[in-house]
Amino acid sequence: MKTVRAILPLLLFIILCFPAASVNASETLKRRTLDALSSFISQYENTAFGQVISLGDMNKFRMAFAQDLDVELNPDLGMSGKYYPSEARWGIWRNHLLELKSTDLRNDRVMITIYHESIHHLIYLAGGAPCGPEETYTELIEDRIAWLKRVAAFERYYERERPSSTEAFKRWNDLEKKWKHFVDFRAGSLSGPYAWQDPEGSTCEDPDRIYTIGPGFISKLDEIVGIDIDIRKIRAVYEGIWTGNDCLPGQHEYGGCQPRPQSGKQKKRGIECWHVRSKTHAGTTCICKDLLTGRILTGNSAQRHCK
């Protein structure tokens, strides 16, 4: 009896501390996940195309993560990650849950999973379902990420090889074709219509059902997440680099760029700069090209040359 009395405070201590410890672990993981998500979203900020795209509004992600979300590691998960809205979890007063098979945040696949599942949370909070057309949208976003990776490789190729504008456009046109038909499916455009088939119903519990989403639905969800990936804007940036013309997106469609006015063109130590409409839709941002090396400058390194 004496022993029981002696260990009772210890037992109480363990019972009280354990949930607190697990809550703290979830909070730490959540903070780390948000930081990694922030780096993921800004991964192209030093590229030319990165000046006119947005992979999401980080403030929206921060607000969504603050709304009753748990982030947990589950190495036994049958997929890389899953999002459960609170209604899909047992018990009342449960938070929404973002479950991850791995928390190796340096791993590209893990980061794409976190991005995918976080988008589900944002859409759910905005009144969408975590399945069907919404799932199709998150699959589309993953394909857009894969496409942007090719654009980044293309930009590195351009800086390295400094090809003629004819050669550069030829390669760009291949990328554009890929955008218009990214998946081997009857509807596979990254602007929509885009189709996705739920493999064996593993995600939406509706075996092999095919969902197709159109441009209107896609831009509605883009708006919720703050995603802006417009191939015309990206092309306009490259047209500016190769033709020496100003191609502000929205003003010119394919191939219709205006000769760059002298006033907006500055040559300093072989560096030429010009302005493109920025992804924030608030004014313009500066992109420069080192005429000697072909290197593209953005951000602060461009700002120094672009007054």
What residues make contact with Zn ion under the rule CB under 5 A? 135, 138
Minimal distance, residue 211 CB to Zn ion, in Å: 12
Which residue's C-beta sits nearest to Zn ion? 138
Minimal distance, residue 43 CB to Zn ion, in Å: 21
User: 138 or 189, CB closer to Zn ion?
Assistant: 138
Minimal distance, residue 171 CB to Zn ion, in Å: 32
User: 118 or 138, CB closer to Zn ion?
Assistant: 138
Q: What is the 3-state secondary structure (H, E, C) of the chain?
A: CHHHHHHHHHHHHHHHHHHHHHHHHHHHHHHHHHHHHHHHHCCCCCCCHHHCCEECCHHHHHHHHCCCEEEEECCCCCCCEEEECHHHCCCCCCCEEEEECCCCCCCHHHHHHHHHHHHHHHHHHCCCCCCCHHHHHHHHHHHHHHHHHHHHHHHHHHHHHCCCHHHHHHHHHHHHHHHHCCCCCCCECCCCCEEEECHHHCCCCCCCCEEEECHHHHHHHHHHHCEECCHHHHHHHHHHHHHCEECCECCECCCCCEECCHHHCEEECCEEEEEEECCCCCCEEEEEEECCCCCEECHHHHHCCCC
User: 119 or 273, CB closer to Zn ion?
Assistant: 119
Minimal distance, residue 139 CB to Zn ion, in Å: 7
User: 72 or 176, CB closer to Zn ion?
Assistant: 72
User: 138 or 298, CB closer to Zn ion?
Assistant: 138
Minimal distance, residue 62 CB to Zn ion, in Å: 21
User: 138 or 285, CB closer to Zn ion?
Assistant: 138
Minimal distance, residue 151 CB to Zn ion, in Å: 24
